[in-house]
Structure 1
């Protein structure tokens, strides 16, 4: 099992932790537009709420220059969603004219396991900040992602241990003409990842994603089905990088990648954390690596368990 890590950058800026109440007076603050600001409070027994931390931030920093905000842990994220946080951000819109990057739920496992993070309807954030260029969210429990139209969004990331099918369909039905980078961690059915391959069809068709150059459909227990669909997916021809990593990819899916449309135009194909056999790994390296495609075939921590004659395989990030 792997675990998501804190973001290190957003909108090309290094992430800086806005100090806790006890450190506010002793921690020098960078220029408002020099970093992406991570605002957090303790998940357990916090001395302040996230919205109180945000109020301190707004009083200490020239928010009119802030380009990126990373919402870290909030109080009792394993029980409570970010509705008040979303409200506070929307209320602050007039004071955030330069905001171009927003990430909701940047927590590591000791703060809150990814499958425990309670999320909410993120549509109002995309509607409320029409000039966003990067948006990301971590956590699938309670996640609502309605179909949206957004003309400036260039990067969309959804990291989950189980992404609800309705949210997948919302992303797929969104009109995102400027989107260059799309990364979805679909997860496993054990943690609410109930999407079917048909839910991904509009993404694979690519009609609403004319500028897409990177596609990640990963961390999925239907990775073989995705690989099979990729064999004839129109969107693939315009991609530069493709990420099918972190999931349950077996020889069935690997063979489909080789037998479908050519992938030799890709700059990189990421398949790390896989269940591919040695001969097929060699064949992928021969066909794609030999054509100049950078391949990541590292098996990582992908391990099989056998119980009563049944083989169990796991995604990289579940709980």
Structure 2
């Protein structure tokens, strides 16, 4: 269960397992929450799985924009599958114990997939920028090879940094408490249990958040400023409406995902509250994956046409 280690601060308990507290403070809502999150998980799998399938099998959607959308939906499925099944198991069995290795693995997967999601959203913004601001060069700039390279870079770039950050956090000694007041092993609640000098780790968290969250978000904002500037110069109201419609879905997902992630990881440590962190985490781990297919399918004629065609078959 635990073993004792000597440190300059004295005797500390190095826990080999933690307790994921989750929503244990509302015991009368456990089964309601289980049912709600189970339905949400099924909606996420069905919605994003449908987007993934139709972007693969429908020839009219074999374009860079839908190529990136398909990969984004796949990331969403992986991302939510790292956290929701464990949360459902905890709610259903009331067994909240998670080993140190499992906790570290979950955190690492969340960070790697989160970084991939940030970069994919930035890549999708770049795709829209080239399509609207440089339409004549679009076929030359966004070839299939380039699209594959951009997707591969989105998947791979964050792995070494996020693995290193996870190792650094879990190399810290932990204090007597082993209760993680969260529904998954996220950085802020885990760091609260650590003892000793944490400044270096907190600095690494901020630097990583700036690199993998703020930088892509800033890139997306700059891209959309240029896109909006170009769209407003279009002579036809129909052309402006069409251009805005292709960007509005992506922009809605960006604001939902990045807004909650930036507030969670970049606000001062003193202002962190366990309950607020849980609510914010629900947005970027569950709400965004759930609304992603709805936003894209409800506002996109190509996706709706492909879906009707697939269901007709």
Provide the TM-score with structure 1 as the length reference: 0.25
Which structure is higher in RCO with an 8 Å CA cutoff and minimum separation 6? 2
Larger radius of gyration: 2
Provide the TM-score with structure 2 as the length reference: 0.25
Q: Is the strand fraction higher in 1 or 2? A: 1
